[in-house]
Structure 1
Amino acid sequence: MEKLVSDTYLVRLLEGISSLHAQKALCDVTLEAEGVCFPAHKIILASASNYCKILFVGNLTRVGSLDHNIHLKAISAAGLRNVLNFIYSNKLDLSLQNIEETFKAAETLLVREVIKLCFKFLEGCLNCENCMDVLNIAKKLGLAELRQKATCYVGQNYKQILADPQCLKDLDRGTLCEILDRTNTEGCSELELFRAAVNWLQHDRTRLEDAADILRHLQEALTYQSLLYAQPLLQTQCTSLRSSSTTLLIAGG
């Protein structure tokens, strides 16, 4: 017996399901987030979401019925909408602006395909322009593997990142310290590291509270490169010394 497969059947089936969802036809359950209700179909949700499968099948087994309104407290309405759109259309709209709420919704509902696509999207954003955003998002979401990849990327491209005023502006203290801790490769001079740290501190007066910690990480980075370095120190009228020859000495302790 030969089994035949139709190339168009799954496409038409998905189109039909999406059409029912758009028309809110035959819906038998409502998901609610932030006061916004999303009519849906149990069988579709249970097929795509392990959370919904456990919730629906488990309740039916225990009590024979299920509350038709499911309130989800841990996710945003926008994130839930994006995940539901994927479930019904196989299309996911992602950006650095909505990735966090989309990932949280997918994680809560246990929609593995969306989680995978979120990882793939963030990895694709690893460039000098967006790597800091990716690193910060990975930290917020607790994505250890992605955070490690982003940190490695930063470590490999730190010279360009530290030289970019916008990147320095957007850095938080922890990320800057991570960069300084990873500057154990060649290509960035002591003076460039010093300038980057000072520029970061001077960008916002509230950052001066972190000056001691930043300078400690800076000293450790410079000490790693050499036990003793001497580099020209830029002078101003306020910091000029009597000697015409000026050096900045960083001694390892």
Structure 2
Amino acid sequence: MDSYSVLYSSSHRTGLLSGFQRLRSQRKMCDVVLEAGSISFPCHRALLASSSDYFWALFGETTAERLAGTISLPALTPEGLDALLDFLYSGWLSISPSTLPVVLETARYLQVETAVAICERYMTDGLTAENCCDYANLAERHTLSNALEAANQTIAMEMGSLIKESRDDLLGLNIESLMAVLDADEMPGIKEEGLIKLALDWLDENGPLPLLKSNLLLSHLRFGLVAPSDLTNISHTHIAMATPLIRSQLTRALDSKQSGHSLLISAINKQTHCCSLDIFFSFFGLFSINPKDGCV
């Protein structure tokens, strides 16, 4: 019996795509036309169906579109469809910060998961203070968990500059990202008072929200890190702070401050001067230091 070897040629796959691309550019053997906006894109059903779950289902044996000469895609933009078709025919996806939203939208709509993964990697690798809020919203809209987590981390680390220079971007942030950022353990140069003000401004900008959602957002704030006098003032500045849940959290924070102060005074009165200093600094650190920035 003869023995056989199975050998693979990567150049064949490349050549196959190149051949389809050449046929497309010359508009030869195209058997379907896709329309987006007022632009027509002659294509090949076989390549579309083999590259996209959307087209695989669309050109199935029982669909009305399986023999249609023209397929209208009103949900897509010509720019996004052109970029995705180039990818299907070549394997190269052209993206820029300005075209990313429409390219990602098209990739999601046509169920081209390889293109979606490329967009997510592009976002994750290109995060900056200037685009992190936009990318967080885009990632949340398209359920891109890795890009969303990376964007939220960038927002937390860049909060010092964002809260001063790009406050509108923060006010346009999706609520899931805002809550994740408020939970961040590291936020250089930021005090909790500033985050409380940001959360209340966000509610004004995006409200009115259902009571459950506004309570959920404010519950991510650490009221215990705010000085009692400031906490009392803040509690009267916004209607969202007057709900029973938030009032109870504010009360617990104030009670904790007062309890800590009483324990501190009692310990100092009972100990020697040397021990008192140790206890003083121990209690001072426990009740007054903000773990986000080390600021008193």
Per the normalisation by structure 1, the TM-score is: 0.70
Distance 1:8 1:174 in 2: 46
Bigger Rg over Cα: 2
Instruction: Report the equivalent of 1:170.
Output: 169
Assess if the C-alpha contact under 8 Å between 1:168 and 1:196 holds in 2. no
Tell me whether 139-148 or 120-129 shows the greater mean CA deviation. Answer: 139-148
Q: Within 5 Å, give how 1:147-166 maps onto structure 2.
A: 147-163=148-164, 165=165
- The alpha carbon displacement at 1:192 in A equals 8.0
Instruction: Report the equivalent of 1:52.
Output: 55
- The alpha carbon displacement at 1:17 in A equals 1.4
Q: Secondary structure at the match of 1:57?
A: coil
Q: RMSD in angstroms over aligned alpha carbons? A: 3.8
Closer/same/farther in 2, CA of residues 209 and 125 from structure 1, 3 Å limit: same
Closer/same/farther in 2, CA of residues 104 and 220 from structure 1, 3 Å limit: closer
Assess if the C-alpha contact under 8 Å between 1:99 and 1:118 holds in 2. yes
Per-residue deviation, residues 40-68 of structure 1 (Å, max 9, x unmatched): 00111111011111221324xx7896111
Q: Tell whether 2:110 aligns with 1:109.
A: yes
Per-residue deviation, residues 121-155 of structure 1 (Å, max 9, x unmatched): 11112232321121122244354553344223322
Tell me whether 184-193 or 31-40 shows the greater mean CA deviation. Answer: 184-193
Assess if the C-alpha contact under 8 Å between 2:160 and 2:190 holds in 1. no
Q: Within 5 Å, give how 1:173-192 maps onto structure 2.
A: 173-174=172-173, 178=179, 181-182=182-183, 185=186, 187-190=188-191
Q: Tell whether 2:225 aligns with 1:225.
A: yes
Q: Secondary structure at the match of 2:71?
A: strand
Closer/same/farther in 2, CA of residues 193 and 226 from structure 1, 3 Å limit: closer
Closer/same/farther in 2, CA of residues 148 and 208 from structure 1, 3 Å limit: closer
Closer/same/farther in 2, CA of residues 86 and 105 from structure 1, 3 Å limit: same
More helix, by proportion: 2
Aligned AA (2:119): C
- The alpha carbon displacement at 1:2 in A equals 1.7
Distance 1:121 1:40 in 2: 27
Q: Tell whether 2:34 aligns with 1:31.
A: yes
Aligned AA (2:170): L
Structure 1: gaps spanning 5 or more residues: 202-206, 231-250
Assess if the C-alpha contact under 8 Å between 2:153 and 2:181 holds in 1. no
Structure 2: gaps spanning 5 or more residues: 209-214, 231-248, 252-296
Closer/same/farther in 2, CA of residues 5 and 226 from structure 1, 3 Å limit: same
Assess if the C-alpha contact under 8 Å between 2:155 and 2:181 holds in 1. no
Q: Tell whether 2:125 aligns with 1:124.
A: yes
Assess if the C-alpha contact under 8 Å between 1:33 and 1:71 holds in 2. yes
Distance 1:99 1:54 in 2: 26
Count the aligned residue pairs: 222
Per-residue deviation, residues 156-206 of structure 1 (Å, max 9, x unmatched): 44234334x1x3243325459547733654643538827985xx97xxxxx
Distance 2:187 2:133 in 1: 21
Instruction: Report the equivalent of 2:5.
Output: 2
